[in-house]
Amino acid sequence: MSKALEYINYRNFEEVIEKAKQACINSHQMIDDHFVDVDEMIELAKSARRQIKSVFLSRFACYLIVQSADPRKEVVALGHSYFALQTRRQEVEDDRRLKLRAEIKEQNKGLASAAKQAGVVQPIDYAIFQNYGYQGLYGGLKKQEIHKHKGLKKSQDILDHMGSEELAANLFRATQTEAKLRRDNIDNKTDANKTHFEIGKKIRKTIAEFGNEMPENLPTPKESIKKLESRKKKELPAE
């Protein structure tokens, strides 16, 4: 990275690394999670080799190094612009996730009400009903299987670990299922389950027709909705 940032003298670059490490500490992050010192062997003339010190960097470490580097260098200024853009994109994605998750939470109340009118009364029946919707949208995968596919703990809700694209697909599934249950006056569990499955399946087919990624293959965000909510609260100015 020293060459990329045009540091000819590695000693000067080491000073930048130290500044970045201090910034890492100030950000309440563990240095060892982002900066890993290693020894590497390099090839010299006549098959000779020499051991040199190197550092493996995380993405966050790269960001801190660019922020700590000499801003008079054009490449560093470009790096500042790049990370600023990426940060803004992540902020937009985080806001979308928070908004969609809140909408799904409210929408699921309406879906539960419509399902109840259709005869889905007991909690076990509603769990089965929900699974039919997931199976339609996720190519046969039940909620527990999606949970396992994402590598989540038992206590973690799959909806809290979806990106905005996946959340939007699930919100569409819920809104359209509620609308059809009410519009068609469905009054039994069998037809309610079938309706939820068919709508999920049609949404999946539409996603495929657009050439987009299937929901189960979309990336799982690093931060859960709960962590985002907690971080947003901390960022709010004190009254």
- The pLDDT tens digits of the residues spanning 74-91 come to 887 887 777 777 777 888
Query: What is the C-alpha to C-alpha distance for residues 9 and 150, in angstroms, rounded to an integer?
Result: 45
Contact 186, 196 (CB under 8 A): no
Look at residue 202 and tell me whether its pLDDT is greater than 80: yes
Highest mean pLDDT (candidates 9-18, 58-67, 147-156): 147-156
Look at residue 102 and tell me whether its pLDDT is greater than 70: yes
Query: What is the C-alpha to C-alpha distance for residues 40 and 57, in angstroms, rounded to an integer?
Result: 14
pTM: 0.72
Look at residue 27 and tell me whether its pLDDT is greater than 60: yes
Contact 229, 206 (CB under 8 A): no
Residue 155, pLDDT score: 92
Look at residue 124 and tell me whether its pLDDT is greater than 90: yes
Q: In the predicted model, what is the mean pLDDT of residues 100-107?
A: 96
Residue 8, pLDDT score: 79
Cα atoms in the 13 Å half-sphere on the side-chain side of 38: 10
Mean pLDDT (the chain, rounded) = 88
Question: Domain limits of the chain?
Answer: 10-70, 93-235
Query: What is the C-alpha to C-alpha distance for residues 47 and 69, in angstroms, rounded to an integer?
Result: 35
Residue 67, pLDDT score: 87
pLDDT tens-digit readout, 34-84: 888 877 665 666 666 666 677 888 878 888 888 888 888 888 788 777 777
Q: In the predicted model, what is the mean pLDDT of residues 195-223?
A: 96
Give the pLDDT band of residue 237 (cuts 50, 70, 90). Answer: low
In the chain, the DSSP E strands lie at: 35-43, 49-57
